[in-house]
Chains A and B, each alone.
Chain A
């Protein structure tokens, strides 16, 4: 009986073992997205929600076609994705390359291929292809990221190929998305120190640039704070990372005494320059650790010293680069983003209008279709990159947080799915999806809320556009297909 109907049961079991929780979340997000697009593009002489003349009508069409696409993905054998991972990646890379040459120039970027009435953005499809290829690489026999450097290079090559091509299309935002795959590398064994360093670099940069004044000990507050953080991290690393209580204690004791003395002196009117203070303090600390280490050198002490030294160098080079290398308009864009300067007509217009729109929503919002800011086209790109504004304005704090929570559950669910995979292929693929989602969510909403620079990337499932929706739909449904057959797989 069972033997006879293998094929049929296989198909049935796909739907039986599908992760319906994810599908329901997906449908919720997509529907909420289409409704938001309707709200965002609602005009006073509007047509119906489902009219193909309207953004929302078109979006429903994209959703319909996307669901058919998703269904087809589910019906295909899961092995296809693993087997054809590299060919798919190759085709997409070729397509990305082709795009540079055949795409028309739209506002300076060449990323859209026009096929009759529809335009497609191949960059959106690069995501799942890259994820498949990475999965394939990590699932190759006896592959371990940390085994040798070649493995790193191979992984990085897969990641950087689309980045370079998309950068050549001048779609910086879409290219940056691939940097999120650092999470995948981290999960697969890359040192946490790298992730930590990246995080520190971002924090140092933001703090150093943002707080140019007031001056503390004759140096800007930003620099002061970063130097303080570097000193604290140095102590913490000695304490928790090197786990050498005696050395750590001595260093902390010295730092504390030195700090107190300088503080007291500054109250008495004798002010020590901040840079001299920190450099002398850290210098003494580093030399002490280095001398102590000479007896029994330990890798971790070296790392700790390097971390502090690189941090200081980074800080000074950031200051130098920001003031001397960046063009004034670039400096301005960063300053506006960090809220240092207010430029309501120029770079800051989008962000300010989007903050006004969201802020005016209050706790419960103005009600569906009652938003005035987004509806009256104060927020540019309101149905694409700034779609979250409409939600914030019309559904208020409750709605905005609701959408965030929905996304969080969705991503955590995928994280859960990722960890239950029995193959490296499935797991790496799922982690790629998680990385993309976190990056899109973080950058898009951060941008709308005025927390990070205006980088034009869409909010998954919400922003208007067939390519983006299909790109994420393909990502999710391939994941679901792989997940549905995880139990059939025997390694």
Chain B
């Protein structure tokens, strides 16, 4: 009996064991549910698919409100590798996508290749195929249930209402590893602007991505929106841009530049708005959209004429005689000359060395010198300025350089396009070095006074000078975007720059340029009913035939357009620069070309100077 009593006490051992077990469980539950957060996070990434909703990229209009760039839907095939079963029917997948098995394997391998796709992770959405056609999309959408882990990401890609202006518009491309590192906004597979305004206005154009929270099951199948989309973030469309570009003028300029290498830059002087920015040869922006982008991009890169190179802002050319107005301004401001100061020209500047010139009256004053583009006048003026008594040439040259820089040369102007070149304006150190410490004087560097020698400028800088003269002494930084919807353009495009030169001197230069049109080198630009001012340039260069250049603005008293034309290896400024520049001015101001000048237009359309460039297409 006593023994039985002892045995019945054993129930406490069993009950105690149970309680111990339950306590262990409760501690474990506490640890899992209350103490640790990691399981909560895991659950979220497990069960939720945060699908990015891409905002519509901002549209682009021209200054007349014409739609230039818009969006079209594109579909990317995405997948989350860990959710893709090992037993997916690859035959069916190939059939639906319309690709071969080898292509699929290649795409799969590319997706996993850490060099091609540095953001690869088995747990996040990866892009398998981009830019599915509408039909392929429809077919895949129907069969999507067969492929766990797959989904379709809708994006927008660009479509263009123009076949030109690619250098301004730029294009979009997939982000690379650097972009992802640089900007938190990007995820692997996103798009970003490349070249042109697509790049420089990327932040405005891209908008804000939205997020759609979907629930997925263990097989990666979408099971609907989480809480009916209560936590979704709606995407915010990108801002629309209005270009200052007049697309008709742009396309017209491109047609004139056909068969030529060079650039046209037209600026509205009062605002600094660029009216057209032609770089030739150009390419169709639609080439860099969609499936064929990679292939087309590679062929553009390989093209010996470098269509991707925007000569209007990246090309650094000797400005030639278009540089002379700057010299006249400096001489007047510095008191080296007055409007009546005359310099001799005996078919050139002859003073120990010789800079050739052409036949005109001698001696000659500033305005006629501009009219006839007399080299000797500017050489003399420059020599007198640099070799001024009681100063050192290096000091005087620094002064000269500062004026030139104030006028927008030598540094990037700050146009709202990527890749702008700064041109080149030497300083006195440069010469001290290149002359190896030997003394140098005005004569040693005389060629810079006529825009040759070491001086290099971009067509944009040249056009900016023209706009400054048109304004009689000030300019706004040239820019291609006139306005941004719901926003304002950068303050720097609304800030006036005024070189330290008196307005009256600009007036003198403008008069000289008017004279050049009326009875000088620019007679070809003398349009009936429009008072055009102009200056030709014929720039010697080491690549072959002279470059043909022209700057001009009109009307004389109320300038609406300032234009710079630069045609490589096309000879005299009057041969190509003047006709093209004047056609641009006429087209812009009159909207059409008068019948009398149709022949000029015809000649420009049909001429080809590319053959003289020395570049051979293989």
- Residues on A close to B: CB < 8 A? 44, 183, 186-189, 192, 195, 353, 355-363, 372-373, 376-378, 380, 392, 396-397, 400-401, 404-405, 407-408, 411-412, 415, 418-419, 431, 434, 438, 441-442, 445-446, 449, 451
Decide: B11 and A187 in contact? CB cutoff 8 A: yes
> Which residues of chain A are within 8 angstroms of B15 by Cβ–Cβ distance?
412, 415
Q: How far is the CA of A20 from the CA of B458 in the complex (A)?
A: 99
The smallest beta-carbon distance between A473 and chain B, in angstroms, is: 21
Decide: A449 and B32 in contact? CB cutoff 8 A: yes
> Which residues of chain A are within 8 angstroms of B488 by Cβ–Cβ distance?
none
Decide: A361 and B218 in contact? CB cutoff 8 A: no
Name the contact of B7 in the complex, choosing from A189, A357, A373, A412 (C-beta under 8 A). Answer: A189
Q: How far is the CA of A378 from the CA of B218 in the complex (A)?
A: 5
Q: How far is the CA of A188 from the CA of B3 in the complex (A)?
A: 11
The smallest beta-carbon distance between B7 and chain A, in angstroms, is: 6
> Which residues of chain B are within 8 angstroms of A445 by Cβ–Cβ distance?
25
Q: How far is the CA of A415 from the CA of B13 in the complex (A)?
A: 11
Q: Is B88 an interface residue (CB 8 A)?
A: no
> Which residues of chain A are within 8 angstroms of B13 by Cβ–Cβ distance?
186, 192, 195
Decide: B216 and A451 in contact? CB cutoff 8 A: no
With both beta carbons as reference points, the residue of chain A lying nearest to B14 in the complex is identified as: A183
- Residues on B close to A: CB < 8 A? 3, 7-8, 10-11, 13-15, 17-19, 21-22, 24-26, 28-30, 32-34, 36, 38-40, 42-44, 46-48, 215-219, 223-224, 226
> Which residues of chain A are within 8 angstroms of B26 by Cβ–Cβ distance?
401, 404
Q: How far is the CA of A445 from the CA of B48 in the complex (A)?
A: 27
Decide: A357 and B29 in contact? CB cutoff 8 A: no
Known: A187-B10, A396-B33, A397-B29. A362 touches B47 (CB 8 A): no
Name the contact of B33 in the complex, choosing from A400, A412, A446 (C-beta under 8 A). Answer: A400
Task: List the 9 closest pairs (A to B, CB-CB), nearest first.
Answer: A359-B39, A360-B43, A372-B47, A376-B217, A397-B33, A359-B32, A378-B218, A356-B42, A360-B40
**Beyond the given A419-B8, A441-B18, could you list 5 further A-B residue pairs with CB under 8 A, ordered by the A residue number?**
A357-B43, A359-B42, A404-B29, A415-B11, A438-B17
Q: How far is the CA of A441 from the CA of B44 in the complex (A)?
A: 29
Known: A376-B216, A377-B219, A449-B25. A187 touches B7 (CB 8 A): yes
> Which residues of chain B are within 8 angstroms of A187 by Cβ–Cβ distance?
7, 10-11, 14
Decide: A376 and B11 in contact? CB cutoff 8 A: no
Number of A-B contacts (CB under 8 A): 121
> Which residues of chain A are within 8 angstroms of B42 by Cβ–Cβ distance?
356, 359-360
Decide: A359 and B38 in contact? CB cutoff 8 A: yes
The smallest beta-carbon distance between A64 and chain B, in angstroms, is: 30
> Which residues of chain B are within 8 angstroms of A353 by Cβ–Cβ distance?
46, 218
With both beta carbons as reference points, the residue of chain A lying nearest to B10 in the complex is identified as: A187
Decide: B47 and A378 in contact? CB cutoff 8 A: yes
With both beta carbons as reference points, the residue of chain A lying nearest to B219 in the complex is identified as: A377
> Which residues of chain A are within 8 angstroms of B36 by Cβ–Cβ distance?
359
Q: How far is the CA of A449 from the CA of B32 in the complex (A)?
A: 8
With both beta carbons as reference points, the residue of chain B lying nearest to A431 in the complex is identified as: B14
The smallest beta-carbon distance between B216 and chain A, in angstroms, is: 7
Q: How far is the CA of A441 from the CA of B47 in the complex (A)?
A: 28
Name the contact of A358 in the complex, choosing from B19, B32, B219 (C-beta under 8 A). Answer: B32
Q: How far is the CA of A441 from the CA of B22 in the complex (A)?
A: 9
With both beta carbons as reference points, the residue of chain A lying nearest to B4 in the complex is identified as: A189
With both beta carbons as reference points, the residue of chain B lying nearest to A145 in the complex is identified as: B7
Decide: A359 and B40 in contact? CB cutoff 8 A: yes
Known: A44-B223, A188-B7, A377-B218. A358 touches B29 (CB 8 A): yes
Decide: A449 and B28 in contact? CB cutoff 8 A: yes
Known: A355-B39, A360-B42. A372 touches B11 (CB 8 A): no
> Which residues of chain B are within 8 angstroms of A401 by Cβ–Cβ distance?
26, 29
Decide: A360 and B29 in contact? CB cutoff 8 A: no
Q: How far is the CA of A192 from the CA of B12 in the complex (A)?
A: 13
Decide: A419 and B11 in contact? CB cutoff 8 A: yes
Decide: A441 and B29 in contact? CB cutoff 8 A: no
Decide: B33 and A358 in contact? CB cutoff 8 A: yes
The smallest beta-carbon distance between A248 and chain B, in angstroms, is: 24
> Which residues of chain A are within 8 angstroms of B217 by Cβ–Cβ distance?
376-378
> Which residues of chain B are within 8 angstroms of A360 by Cβ–Cβ distance?
39-40, 42-44
> Which residues of chain B are within 8 angstroms of A362 by Cβ–Cβ distance?
33-34, 40
Q: How far is the CA of A400 from the CA of B29 in the complex (A)?
A: 8
Q: How far is the CA of A360 from the CA of B32 in the complex (A)?
A: 8
Name the contact of B30 in the complex, choosing from A377, A397, A415 (C-beta under 8 A). Answer: A397
Known: A372-B48, A378-B217, A415-B14. A438 touches B21 (CB 8 A): yes
> Which residues of chain A are within 8 angstroms of B30 by Cβ–Cβ distance?
397
Q: How far is the CA of A187 from the CA of B219 in the complex (A)?
A: 49
Decide: B46 and A356 in contact? CB cutoff 8 A: yes
With both beta carbons as reference points, the residue of chain A lying nearest to B224 in the complex is identified as: A44
With both beta carbons as reference points, the residue of chain B lying nearest to A400 in the complex is identified as: B29
Q: How far is the CA of A360 from the CA of B15 in the complex (A)?
A: 31
Name the contact of A404 in the complex, choosing from B10, B25, B46, B226 (C-beta under 8 A). Answer: B25
Q: How far is the CA of A419 from the CA of B36 in the complex (A)?
A: 41
> Which residues of chain A are within 8 angstroms of B3 by Cβ–Cβ distance?
189
Q: How far is the CA of A397 from the CA of B30 in the complex (A)?
A: 7
Q: How far is the CA of A445 from the CA of B29 in the complex (A)?
A: 10
Decide: B25 and A446 in contact? CB cutoff 8 A: yes
Q: How far is the CA of A380 from the CA of B226 in the complex (A)?
A: 22
> Which residues of chain A are within 8 angstroms of B44 by Cβ–Cβ distance?
360
> Which residues of chain B are within 8 angstroms of A449 by Cβ–Cβ distance?
25, 28-29, 32
Decide: A418 and B11 in contact? CB cutoff 8 A: yes
The smallest beta-carbon distance between A246 and chain B, in angstroms, is: 28
Decide: B7 and A442 in contact? CB cutoff 8 A: no
Q: How far is the CA of A397 from the CA of B3 in the complex (A)?
A: 43
Decide: A392 and B11 in contact? CB cutoff 8 A: no
With both beta carbons as reference points, the residue of chain B lying nearest to A393 in the complex is identified as: B43
With both beta carbons as reference points, the residue of chain B lying nearest to A358 in the complex is identified as: B32
> Which residues of chain B are within 8 angstroms of A359 by Cβ–Cβ distance?
32-33, 36, 38-40, 42-43
> Which residues of chain A are within 8 angstroms of B22 by Cβ–Cβ distance?
404-405, 407-408
